[in-house]
Structure 1
Amino acid sequence: MVPVGSPDDDSTDPMGDEQCAYQPGDTVPVSRFDNYQWRGPHLAHLPFFEYCMLVQSKNARDAIATDLEFDPRHPKHGIQVQRLARKKSQVVTVTFNGQLSQSQSEEESVPGGHPVTTAMKNDLAESKEDSQIDAALRRAMDGSQNSFTRDLDVEAPADLDLFDDEEALDTLQEDFSTETLIAAYHSVATSW
């Protein structure tokens, strides 16, 4: 008998090199996907993303009154419970770790991006049609025949200056007393 992965093994099977700690009949570890699948009726309204943000599994020995049990089909039913976040600091930020699909490297290597499909062509045609309808409605409302093609050089520049001279700025600063500024600072500081 030759052990898996020995030098005498000529197999090109990549799985032969991988060691596995689980044997047939062993129970597999429970993942968040399992927890979500058997979360029970009280949490059935939560999508997976929100479930991962708000629910932590805890040991049943440490359970509190507000914890929820898993569905009886859950591998850890009776051993673990679900605890909802009660404070803002208990909410978890969900991030993706790794690739989103097994074929991501192949998908990203497609020259020019993803292939153009009929559905994409239909969406582009619909967007073009919508923009043409929008342009026609704008022309009808403005009375202009070419509202999008007019030359910007002939438009009058907008006056964005609020004050033409320095006097207006100086009077603005004099309108507030020291007491008013201190009261405003205190109000802002206490609200934070």
Structure 2
Amino acid sequence: MIARPYHRVNLDAPAPAELPAVSGLDLALSADNVARFGGDPHRYRHALSGISVAPEAMVDVAAVAAWRAGVLGIRADALARLERLPIDLAARVLSLPVDAVVHFTNGQAVDRFYWPLHRPGELIARIGGFTGLGGVWQHPPTDPVPSGPGRWTVNVGTQRWQIDADVFGHVLSPAPPAAASEDGPRTARLVVRPTSYLAEIWPA
């Protein structure tokens, strides 16, 4: 069996879903943008399916749904908007039981990889992968160096790459020439193996 990239929290396959119609908002365009920024538009559509709220509230819902679908770049904004959602609506968008939402928000304040339904010590994500199998790297990643919460750099062939990640998604990019290390809790570790094109994120 060929191992492929995934985030454990996203192993379930969301059912096909239609976006709600909201006056003044182009949610179809937002779904395209989710895909453009590395998220899963099917999961985004699934999260918004059947929700009926005022347009200003839907902006908050859509931001949380986009983050939940793997758009890492809006993490901070989505967390702020999540606090404004009724707890039952937040649970629906996050795909969590209602009684797990507060645990999730409290956990995310200290650990970007926290998910209340994960068992301790479980693999969080596999990222990268061989280009010939739909991945992004032509060589196995080596020499991982932590450079902040949810951030590492690795060598891939002759190039240095930067990995940014959280529980829902990740971004892979060429590392800047002088990548500065950021302070903050490092709640996960990156594991690489000489025979694998995948890098694995495990709890620290």
Rg larger in 1 or in 2?
1
Task: Please identify which structure carries the higher strand content.
Answer: 2
Question: Which structure has more RCO (C-alpha within 8 Å, separation ≥ 6)?
Answer: 2
Task: Please identify which structure carries the higher helix content.
Answer: 1
Give yes or no for TM over 0.5.
no
State TM-score, norm by structure 2. Answer: 0.19
